[in-house]
A and B are shown apart, each in its own frame.
Chain A
Amino acid sequence: MAVDSRSFAHKTWRTIASIQTGVVLLILVVILSAVGTVVLQRPVTDPDEMQSAYSPQALHILDAVGLTDVFHSWWFLGLVLLVSLSIVAASIDRFPNSWRYFSRPYKYPEESFRRALRPQKSIPIADEESGIVAAQRALHSLGFKSERVVREDHFGIFAERYRISELAVYIVHASLLLIFCGTIIDGIWGWRASINLNEGQTSNIVELHDGSTRTLPFSIRCDSAGQENYKDGSPKKWWSKLAIVENGRDVTKKEIVVNDPLLYRGVRFYQSSYGPNGKVDKLALVAVPMAPSPTSQKQEIGLAVNESASLDTETTVRFAEFFPDYAVRDGQVYLKSRQLENPAAHLVLTTKSAGISRNFDIWFPEIDGVSDNSKSPWQFQATDLKMGHFTGLQVSHEPGQWGVWSGVVLMGIGLAFVFYVVHMRFWVVPVLDAKTGTYSLWIGGSANRNRDAFEQRFADLTAAIEEELAATTKVVPREQATDKPGQKLVV
């Protein structure tokens, strides 16, 4: 029983770690993602559009299986987790082998290995030592550090470069897991919301995308916002001057634009839209008294809604109401819509003379039966109407994004190693032919990728060795070079 369960566990492990499982899972991810781009997705589509695109039954089925929100469904998350598991298992399964390869490099080629290795070459040499020295010099000239490898009864040279390339694929897989971790952290602890602020408004409540609200531990204030246009009228730039208010004081200020958010305590504020909020910022007026006197003169005033100004000692004017789009019915003014279509402003002029206070309703434009414009002791001309604006901000908190970015950087490094860093190895062994009693230098090389370029390099090396050998034979007399050939073997 125990053996059975162990073999079952072993089988499961083998299945998870196998490349087939990985491939099947990846193909599933591909298919389901593709489906997710073809079927309309709830988070980015109007409910009405969903209703009109699919019949109620179809929509019901699609909703039930989660195809209308593929990328947030439990089975898609499960699939991504399975892919991660498969990557982890496959890496654990293969890593020990690669690690052995990496940590205990194969330095002396056995005879069977020598027979099978390609590329290889044999060069006749006079004796072992001169051959080895020539090979070392040649390797050195090609930029390789060579190492003498000595076994009980034979010796040789081993040189290599970029052994780390053998482990690069694990770097890539680890980086992918790091990215997954980051996104999963964001999926659990991160949130996205939006907030609309009028100029001057402060708020600490943001609206999440599902309609609920979230209270921030600090407040955000919009000091001003604006839009710049190109000559053809299309928007060039949206900006907002924002301030973070914490415990009643401004802790940080920044002017944000579309590609440059404000970051405070892990919460980022992005510029996403801008527009008129239908509210008046300032109404500029010229006030002319009907009976000018030294105390009551023609003057220019600017009023915000509910703001009052004194015109002379007895008269004040208050900006009572503003309608972005008005309609008149039965002598009453109604708000028709919040769009700035047909605006009307309502001022109230109050005069106090001899203790009697009188009010005059002044309207722009003049509305018959409602306004007292003509009866008023002061006449007004509206010169300018400055509308207030709101700035639309996206707010997001993504605690896992550092995992994602470090994963991306790591993946870049890993891929660079995987594709462009080649682990090259060279072995040089002097071989004695028992029949003829002559020595030859066996040279072999191996590269883990880009073999055709490596063959060129190998040809360069053998050519360099032959050159070195030719040089040595010229300088060193033959008798000296062949002196005591077997001595080194004993070491």
Chain B
Amino acid sequence: MAQAKIEQQQQPATGMTLIVMVGLAIAFLLFMAFLNVVKSGNLLSETNLLFATLIFYCGAGALYLGFGVTGIESYVKFASLATWLGLIANTAAVAHRWYEAGHAPFATVYEMLLSFVWTLAVLTLVAEKKYHVKVIGTVTMPVAIVGVVLMQLLRTEVHPLVPALQSTWLHVHVTLAMLAYAACALSFALAMMFLIQDHMKTETFLAVTSASTLGIYAAIVLTRFEKWGGLNLVAWDPDRKAEVFLSKGVRLFVTIPDLGWVMTLTLLAVAAPLVCYGIARWKNNDSYLTVANRAVFLSILLQVMTLAMFLVRARDSRYPSLDADGLFPTTLAASPFILSGLVGGVFISLLYLLLVWRRNDLERLLPTSDNLDRITYKTICLAFPLLTLMIAAGAYWANQTWGSYWSWDPKETWAAITWLVYALYLHMRVTRGWRGRRAAYFAIAGFAVVMFTFFGVTYLLPGLHAYA
């Protein structure tokens, strides 16, 4: 570890070049993914506006990352400028959507992502200008980028509102939800920064990074690996722009040959750092950690390769299926979660590399740990009332539409669970004086629950919130 650090101080350019190169590669891949879905249209069409948003957010993300690496202040200025430009394009996209749909853009997952990304960009600028947390963009911008990419893949046609959604309370409810979730995302980013500033060991971050990427690949391989190294993806009907169903609730899967092996290989590669970490802890020998860091680097290369292969093979091709005869088409849009998982894995690993290479600079640039702890708490003080109001508005709306203010629908239940988790955080903080690490862990866990409520419930659990 120490050796690696000295190396970095001697050759600061190498680390940066690598990061910039990987960043450029990702930007290129995003561009490829975008080309896949871009449709010809007039200049100010929604897709083009979103494309502009994506480009500016990518630029902002890269500049924030560059600031994180080099600590050069002028990077932040350009990064904020790029964020502002991205925000303008994003606002225009929201307005365009609003105008076209005739209702506030909160009805589908696509529209909510649009609003979520917008809120995230606004909060990033607020955190930067008001609280001087300049590095926050390194975390929030990539999240925004993943959001925009996901949006490209989800269906984009304007759907008229079904009768149940025609209510002012829809707007109130969803606006509050987006604000609350964005505040939770911010508290998560701040808690992570607190952990860095609180001198949490770099190898702990290594373990967490490795474990989360391992989780992503394990989830993909376990659920989608098919005999003889194939990878199962959902078939996609390009005319209806929807997944193909064999019967109610049973999706048709196509198998892409060999991609399963690639996934398994990458799974092993992302598991390697965790194994090295385990050995280092067991043998109490730090030299294994140096190996682990190299393994992370290798795993990033493999992850980028996997992402590239996935993008190339999963877009607009026809593959055989085990359940039905003939070839069926699939596109990236059919597997938004695998794609975001892959992009997310690369992103988490890159953040770890940034930490390894530039920890000292990061610590110098971030506010003090006490301040970060306090800002995290303040963000949650903002998120909690918003969550409360969001649930209350949702209950009132449900009472108008479904005839009952509380139906124990999974989304409702998970919203209540989120609320309880943050309520626990507040109680522990006020009555037990939880500060620092424990509070930060709690904030991170809270955000994990939020993410599950937002995405997991919609896609994994059945329920009344079928619109989103």
Contacts and interface: CB of A to CB of B under 8 A. Distances in A.
Nearest to A23: B424
Interface of A: 19, 22-23, 26-27, 29-30, 33-34, 36-38, 40-41, 44, 70-71, 183, 192, 230, 232, 234-238, 257-261, 268, 270-272, 394-396, 398, 401, 404-405, 408, 411-412, 415-416, 419, 450, 452
A30 B417 contact: yes
A259 B400 contact: yes
A237 B163 contact: yes
A37 B409 CA distance: 8
B161 to A, nearest CB: 8
Contacts of B385: 412, 415-416, 419
Interface centre among B167, B397, B405, B414 (most CB of A within 10 A): B405
A452 B374 contact: yes
B367 to A, nearest CB: 12
Given A19-B427, A259-B164, A412-B392, 7 more contacts: A22-B427, A27-B424, A257-B163, A259-B400, A405-B396, A411-B388, A419-B381
Interface centre among B159, B374, B401, B457 (most CB of A within 10 A): B401
A450 B392 CA distance: 26
Given A26-B420, A419-B381, A419-B385, A235 B404 contact: no
25 contacts: A27-B424, A33-B413, A34-B413, A36-B413, A37-B410, A37-B413, A37-B463, A44-B409, A70-B408, A71-B413, A234-B160, A234-B162, A236-B160, A236-B163, A237-B166, A238-B163, A259-B167, A259-B401, A394-B402, A401-B399, A412-B388, A415-B384, A416-B385, A419-B384, A419-B385
Contact of B162 (A22, A235, A405): A235
A183 B396 CA distance: 14
A66 to B, nearest CB: 14
A26 B424 contact: yes
A27 B421 CA distance: 8
B35 interface: no
Instruction: Please classify how large the interface on chain B is, using the bins under 10, 10 to 19, 20 to 34, 35 or more.
Output: 35 or more
A258 B163 contact: yes
Contacts of B167: 259
Contacts of B402: 270, 394
A396 to B, nearest CB: 4
A412 B416 contact: no
Contacts of B432: 19
Nearest to A90: B431
A260 B410 CA distance: 24
A226 to B, nearest CB: 12
B127 to A, nearest CB: 16
Contact of B414 (A37, A261, A408): A37
B391 to A, nearest CB: 9
Across chains A and B, which 6 residue pairs bring their CB atoms closest together, nearest first? A258-B163, A37-B410, A71-B408, A394-B403, A230-B160, A396-B403
A230 B404 CA distance: 28
Nearest to A234: B160
B389 interface: yes
Contacts of A29: 420
Contacts of A415: 384-385, 388
A37 B169 CA distance: 25
A22 B431 CA distance: 12
Interface of B: 159-164, 166-167, 169, 374, 378, 381-382, 384-385, 388-389, 392, 395-397, 399-406, 408-410, 413-414, 416-417, 420-421, 423-424, 427-428, 431-432, 457, 461-463
A27 B404 CA distance: 26
Contact of B401 (A40, A258, A404): A258
Given A23-B427, A37-B414, A41-B408, A270 B401 contact: yes
B388 A23 contact: no
Contacts of A271: 163
A450 B421 CA distance: 22
B381 to A, nearest CB: 5
Contact of B395 (A33, A270, A408): A408
B416 A33 contact: yes
A258 B169 CA distance: 13
B459 to A, nearest CB: 13
Contacts of A19: 427, 431-432
A158 to B, nearest CB: 26
Contacts of A71: 408, 413
B408 A36 contact: yes
Contact of B166 (A26, A258, A270, A408): A258
A238 B165 CA distance: 12
B162 A23 contact: no
A37 B163 contact: no
